[in-house]
Amino acid sequence: MNNTRPLLRPYDEAEIEDLRQLERSAHRRYLSLKEYERFAATPAINPERFRTGTTRVAEFAGHRAGYIIVQPLDDMLYIASLMVDDGMSGKGIGQRLLEWAEDYASAAGVSGTCLATFRAPRWNAPWYRKLGYTEMPEGRIGPNLQAILDRHATFLDMTTRIAMWKPTGARPQ
């Protein structure tokens, strides 16, 4: 792993299309898994999502390498989107973005960070587990997160999905 730490900064309105292109690049990873390859063609995030959440962009070695969008949700900070350019995988960019979100949640005084992701690909739930995330207990899922999961159920097989969380201040085991 390179010792250079990604630089994080707020997004600029003028770069939304570039960030959407970065997302398309990140989705290419799904081509390596037959059961997920259809997600490689998933449309990029709606530009409005960058405006309704708090977005940080990661730069690495002079390149825009990833981004994260978070928003307050049910006394937690919801990770609405975390993307790393396909060619930048394994450089600590996603982990740095996630650390920023966890610090942001702590400073905001919320109970933790949460997200919805796929159970299987190694860069989804298994990766979050390595960083201290666990399956969210059903009783902990608030009404707004449940609404997101219900919306996901209209176009995804929910047996392939998992809601995860990490309490504020928790560290990987």
CB atoms within 10 A of CB 155: 7
DSSP state for residue 68 in the 8-state scheme? E
Question: Each residue's pLDDT tens digit in the chain (173 positions)?
Answer: 445 789 999 999 999 999 999 998 888 887 777 777 767 777 888 999 999 999 999 999 889 999 999 999 999 999 999 999 988 888 999 999 999 999 999 999 999 999 999 998 888 899 999 999 999 999 999 999 999 999 989 888 888 899 999 999 876 65
- 91 alpha carbon, distance to own chain's centre: 16
pLDDT of amino acid 32 = 78
Complete domains list, the chain, with CATH: 7-167 (3.40.630.30)
At 102, the amino acid letter reads E
d(CA 85, CA 64): 8
pLDDT of amino acid 2 = 47
d(CA 131, CA 108): 20
